[in-house]
Structure 1
Amino acid sequence: MSDDKRFLPSQEFKMPKMGESITEGTIIEWHVKVGDTFEEGDVLLEVATDKVDNEVPAPASGKMVAQKFNNGDVVPVGEVIAILDISESGSSIKTASKTKETKEKSKISTSSSTLSSTSTSSSTLSSVQKSFKVNENLFISPLVDSMARKNHISYEELARIPGTGKDGRLRKSDVSDYLKKGRPFQFAQAVPEVSGFQVPDLKFDKGKGKIVEMDRMRQMISDHMVFSKHNSPHVTAYVEADLTDMVNWRNNNKAEFQKRYNEKLTFTPLFIECVAKAIEDFPMINSSLDGKNIIVKDEINIGMATALPSGNLIVPVVKNADKKNLNELASATNILVEKARNNKLKADDTKDSTFTISNVGTFGSLMGTPIINQPEAAILATGIIKKRAEVMEREDGDTIEIRQMMYLSLSFDHRIVDGYLAGSFLRRIADYMEQFDTKRKV
């Protein structure tokens, strides 16, 4: 692009949102220097988060005017990181409307407690492009106000939604995420200063020792787990499965499998294969709750809880698991595990899971009671495969044999899934594992 191109007025370029629960990113490297021109889609910079690294593309053709942050700086999502001149012939930045909003500094104070559609007409809001203040901590833009009116959200309810914008400002994405989660604070009531019973402020002696500050990812995991337990009524069901045939087949064929496909054959793709088949039999397990509606997913995307080098867990996702054969599943799982171990996972690798498996047996656990990976309806935990003496019913009489046994546990959201569905689904997974075809060709 030549420098004689005509440009539109300079526009702000903000740190993009790179996934659920991610509120900031670290600038790894700027790929375009100040004064350089770029084309639409060119990588402007690379950003790292606690989960993945992301390349941020240019929204349109233009020129880099200024950079507000340097390599290594940690920047909140939504913060202006650069000033761009966009080519007159190119497309405009999608966040231009947000830029305009941030330039508005006047605020209209209101004491109204509900969003009445008759209190302020839409024409008035569109003509007065200003933010107004509900209380000392909450700022509402006309866009958020419009969304609240459409969904009948009161000012009190808006005040309960955590804002991720600057100074706690509510953003469109905050309200959208809140609606997707089923409006968990819709009927929340403030705790009165004086009541008949108060939770005592117990001063526990937590002891002395080395202080280890939680990293950001551990804090996000903590928040996600607490939210899941608070939001979904968890119930856990258990079965045990005889994996003797599966274990023997894998042991006899893993060398040939690696030779033929150049892929290591672990139990994970075998488990995913059985789970995907069971989901096809019981599709309601593959769902999420949206308010009073249940969304039964079209795709079967299996997340697998994987340990990072830091000890934290992340859930990379095998997309369309039901459409992959065993060597494709093995390849997908091996690639994702390798990426996780080397902190190379991208945002797309951890998106769109519809059901999750947690292999607690990897750590030697007999079984587990996993917490649901929101917004899914259920999660499966597979325990350690352990040799055990079992009574086997044969045509010529009962025998005691050494068998490879494993416990399976399914935690499910009782708002969506009842005991019959959960038990049937869990038993079907175990059946597929037990009825493994020992004559299967690699």
Structure 2
Amino acid sequence: MSLIEVTLPKMGESISEATVLNWLKQVGDTVEADETLLEVATDKVDSEVPSPCDGIIKEIKCQSQDVIAIGSVIAVIEATGEVKVSSQKNETKTDHKKGPKPSKSNKSEFKLGTQDPDAFLSPLVVSIAQKEGLTIEEVQSIIGTGTEGRIRKSDVMNYVKNRKYPLPSKPQTQVVSNPNLFNYSAPQVQYTEGHDVIEEMDRMRQMIAGHMVYSKQTSPHVTAYVEADVTEMVNWRNANKVAFQEKYGERLTFTPLFVEAVTNAIKDYPGINASVDGTKVVLRKDINIGMATALPSGNLIVPVVKDSANKDLVGIAKDVNHLANSARENKLKPEEIQGSTFTISNVGTFGSIMGTPIINQPEVAILALGIIKKRAEVITTDKGDEIAIRSMMYLSLSFDHRVVDGYLGGSFLRRVADNLEAFSAQRAI
């Protein structure tokens, strides 16, 4: 028999750690290959970690609510059967140095170094910093014990316990020559016991909050607006939705039309399909459109239409319907919410005229689509100017001004609107 180290598997290109929700097995339990050992959560989705082999659990190296780095050893199994090829490299009797080991943090290891403005802070770390009244600069000064010096939850909590000069509980005015030296801690919230209702954020809401704060602190947001006359698109969809479903077995909502218009605009302005890595701009070859979707809990998640540039309207509609249904039923798979390169948010679903969306990191832009409303508009016809009832919609694009300037952002936004306006009654389904 051999001892097999079970490591936390990779869960997506932008995910580097996960929170242990609960163990379904304990030390001494017998397990079968592919049987679920534990449930973990990232800032995007909950996942199950399966056993790589038949055997007996000899050791569990993490507990519920621990934050574990991807690749860290989480358990040791004494194998009694065949081991999956992908897990052979995890045998403890071979090389214990393979894969990052969980870092231990205690008071003697606490360090504070020079502030690193490029230090990556996970949504979880940002959320903790908010709760503890820490500034981002203060957190970036903590020496991380994670892989490549990454700042982990334990590093922040250790710092909070050991800092000699905690930030004041109330804002204080400072007279300094450098405005960047001003510190501000969140004001204390006053409430009445037994009168006001206090609700703890659920785990997903906390992660969303951390991700949103991180995005605003990372990207200088600029929002541009255009108005589109989508009368022809609305008429075409209404005239063809029944035939479309009968022919292809898929519902034709407005979302596939939005995804198609955005995809074609990205082809014309590929600079909007990018990410920022330090001083480098990563231009994405694939076009993967994320679509912000409400879950039954009220939280939002962003399932992704992959490779939309190589799909026709039928293929896009099939993906959109599948992802939307899976989101409503809480059945989205980890790979279905990863890899987006550009995101759209249909705020019109909730009756909003327009929105100022927050960029879905590490993307550089996000598009909000407002409600489609009929109103009287002045249009130019062969007979001259006339007043007609038209279906109008506002589009708003928030973009990262570090790499997207007004020309690119404005031109891309206008092209999306043009694509939505260009529908012809003769377009075949």
When the two structures are superposed, what TM-score results if normalisation uses the length of structure 1? 0.74
| 1:15/1:75 contact within 8 Å kept | no
Distance 1:28 1:227 in 2: 30
1:26 to 2:18 alignment: no
Amino acid at match of 1:292: T
Distance 2:380 2:296 in 1: 45
Q: Give 1:428 deviation, angstroms.
A: 0.4
Query: Against the structure 1 CA distance between its residues 97 and 261, is the aligned structure 2 distance closer, same or farther, given a 3 Å change threshold?
Result: same
1:150 alignment partner in structure 2:
none
Deviations 1:241-300 (A, max 9, x none): 011011011111111111111111110000000000000000000001111111110100
Counting only pairs closer than 5 Å after superposition, residues 24-423 of structure 1 correspond to structure 2 as 24-27=19-22, 29=24, 34-36=29-31, 38=33, 42-45=34-37, 47-49=39-41, 51-59=44-52, 61=53, 63-66=55-58, 68=60, 74-78=65-69, 81-85=74-78, 91-93=88-90, 96-97=96-97, 136-138=109-111, 157=116, 170-172=145-147, 175=150, 196-197=175-176, 206-208=190-192, 209-423=196-410
1:119 alignment partner in structure 2:
none
Distance 1:350 1:278 in 2: 22
| 2:120/2:151 contact within 8 Å kept | no
Distance 1:134 1:425 in 2: 52
Query: Against the structure 1 CA distance between its residues 161 and 359, is the aligned structure 2 distance closer, same or farther, given a 3 Å change threshold?
Result: closer
| 1:228/1:371 contact within 8 Å kept | yes
3-state SS in 1 of match to 2:379: strand
Larger Rg, first or second structure (1 or 2): 1
Distance 1:204 1:156 in 2: 27
RMSD: 3.9
Aligned-residue identity in percent: 48
Q: Give 1:224 deviation, angstroms.
A: 1.0
Query: Against the structure 1 CA distance between its residues 156 and 244, is the aligned structure 2 distance closer, same or farther, given a 3 Å change threshold?
Result: closer
Q: Give 1:411 deviation, angstroms.
A: 0.4
1:424 alignment partner in structure 2:
411
2:132 alignment partner in structure 1:
none
Amino acid at match of 1:416: V
Q: Give 1:99 deviation, angstroms.
A: 8.0
3-state SS in 2 of match to 1:263: coil
2:136 alignment partner in structure 1:
none
Query: Against the structure 1 CA distance between its residues 393 and 32, is the aligned structure 2 distance closer, same or farther, given a 3 Å change threshold?
Result: farther
3-state SS in 2 of match to 1:387: strand
When the two structures are superposed, what TM-score results if normalisation uses the length of structure 2? 0.76
2:6 alignment partner in structure 1:
13
3-state SS in 2 of match to 1:77: strand
For structure 2, the 5+ residue unaligned runs are 126-142, 153-164, 177-181
